[in-house]
A and B are shown apart, each in its own frame.
Chain A
Amino acid sequence: MLAEYWPVLLFIAVAIGLGIALLVIGLLAGTSRPTAEKLAPYECGFEAFEDARMKFDVRYYLIAILFIIFDLEIAFLFPWATVFSDLGVIALVEMGLFLLLLVIGFAYVWKKGALEWE
């Protein structure tokens, strides 16, 4: 049962190895003649006069929070979907209620304008 996941783990290891190999080849085979101008952050020829890690729009943050909530809902739907046919009508009704609650929350978010980008 768990042994089936061993190739998956190996695959992740191979992928990490591939990434490291490519990076190392690039670092070794590539030329390296750094100058101050070359290493400066790219800003279309302007000199960067302050740190780029500035304040950003709160809507990105809001989207991330909403994503977590909705992604959790999807994670709840996964087991339900898998055993749905064994549970019959109760599962259908319950998930109808669950989706209804989800839709109410979604409608609230929509109404509040959290999804607006102007």
Chain B
Amino acid sequence: MFDQFWTHLLLPVLYILAIVVPLILAVAMFVYWERKVIGWMHVRMGPNKIGPLGMLQAFADVVKLLIKEVILPTNSSKFLYYLAPMLALVPAFAAWAVVPFGEKMVLANVNAGVLYLLAMTSLGVYGIILAGWASNSRYALLGAMRSAAQVISYELAMGMSVVCVLVLTGSLNLTDIVHAQAGNKGFFDWYWLPLLPVFIIYFISGVAETNRAPFDVAEGESEIVAGFHVEYSGSAFAIFFLAEYASMILVSFLAAIFFMGGWLSPLQGWITADAPRWINWIWTGGFIWLFIKAFLFSFLFLWFRASFPRYRYDQIMRLGWKVFIPITIVWVFVAGLMKYYGWVTIGTGA
């Protein structure tokens, strides 16, 4: 009885907490890192008062947010108003169930992993729409409309880019997708090379999908204040914030898994020396590589925010529909040709 309980409930929940807790900490440190990096790029200090180098700033912010008043605006729909942040948070976290962190380091090694990821990232838009609708405020509704239209437009480009990866790997399983990129040509085995245009499109769509600068018209401060979550305060706002940053980190991880070989080493096949395990991962690959790659991608989010001025809304829609979608459609066919003529082969790692 207890054995069953242990293997089917307690153990998986422990594994899940081993993903969720570091993820929340990662979000907190990412917020700190964002403020610090943008501070440096603006030749400012960034947060530096709380804790060493200001590192505890994010935790202080969390405490502050949690003890703030949660406002329920007069004309809002109560149930939907509280449901919306949940609908934003749950997919952003649940998507992590299928992300492989390393060889065998995956919670659910499911065969429909990519499909599940696409489903989860698509659900995020409901939180946005509902938040705008339930608040019953002009800014919130306008922000939600803009945001939803933008998110679904870029989801198409994102989906098409993923199809290109699937053509080359022939599997919806994320672990298989990483294995397929194994080889002995170092980082030239990874899919960023044959799929270079869609790799770039995937990441830019990811930035647009998470409503980040330069695509952050949803919360363009100078026009519609904070967009869909303008009425939210306290912990309800904190949930939206958590969801947004968790999905940014998710996009970074997925870009690393789909196009940059996941946990594989960029030196794979070049060095075959025999060394102790704690050095060995540098060329045989390990979860540290995935974390380094994801860190670099998430750094790009911050770099973009500090560097680029905000796009106009019509420019965003034009980029999504008239540039990205045609390129990805063409590249699906190109990927098919590459696969058919064997220019890109499935790696040896499988």
Contacts and interface: CB of A to CB of B under 8 A. Distances in A.
A117 B146 CA distance: 12
A52 B333 contact: no
Contacts of B166: 77-78, 81-82
A85 B340 CA distance: 7
A117 B322 CA distance: 12
A82 B177 CA distance: 11
Instruction: State the majority secondary structure of interface residues on B.
Output: helix
Interface residues of B, number: 87
Interface string A26-53: 1101111110101111111000100111
B68 A67 contact: no
A83 B152 CA distance: 27
Contacts of B76: 41
Given A18-B20, A30-B66, A40-B74, A106 B326 contact: yes
Given A18-B93, A30-B68, A63-B152, A52 B140 contact: yes
Contact of B230 (A11, A42, A89): A42
Contacts of A44: 225
Interface in A74-102: 74, 77-78, 81-86, 88-89, 91-92, 95-96, 99, 102
A54 B72 CA distance: 20
Instruction: State the majority secondary structure of interface residues on A.
Output: helix
Contact of A15 (B94, B109, B317, B329): B94
Interface string B93-123: 1101110000000011111001110000010
A70 B73 contact: no
Contact of B90 (A8, A15, A38, A74): A15
Given A26-B234, A34-B71, A11 B93 contact: yes
Contact of A26 (B15, B70, B96, B332): B70
Interface string B42-86: 000000000000000000000001111111111110000010011
Nearest to B167: A81
B155 interface: yes
A44 B224 CA distance: 10
B82 A115 contact: no
B270 interface: no
B159 A11 contact: no
Given A22-B239, A31-B67, A31-B68, A53 B159 contact: no
B333 A19 contact: no
A5 B85 CA distance: 25
A96 B333 contact: yes
Contacts of B277: none
A23 B239 contact: yes
Contact of B340 (A12, A83, A89): A89
Contacts of A14: 13, 16-17, 20, 93
B63 to A, nearest CB: 9
B207 interface: no
A29 B16 contact: no
A15 B91 CA distance: 8
Interface of A: 4-8, 10-12, 14-16, 18-20, 22-23, 25-27, 29-34, 36, 38-44, 48, 51-54, 56-57, 59-60, 63-64, 67, 70-71, 74, 77-78, 81-86, 88-89, 91-92, 95-96, 99, 102-103, 106, 110, 115, 117-118
Which of B9, B122, B160, B340 has the most C-beta atoms of chain A within 10 angstroms of its own C-beta? Answer: B340
B137 interface: yes
A116 to B, nearest CB: 8
Given A15-B94, A41-B138, A25 B145 contact: no
Given A15-B94, A41-B75, A26 B238 contact: yes
Given A41-B138, A42-B230, A54-B138, 11 more contacts: A5-B110, A16-B86, A22-B242, A26-B70, A30-B66, A34-B69, A53-B133, A71-B156, A99-B332, A103-B329, A106-B329
A67 B321 CA distance: 10
What are the nearest 5 A-B pairs in CB distance? A26-B235, A117-B314, A81-B166, A41-B137, A11-B97
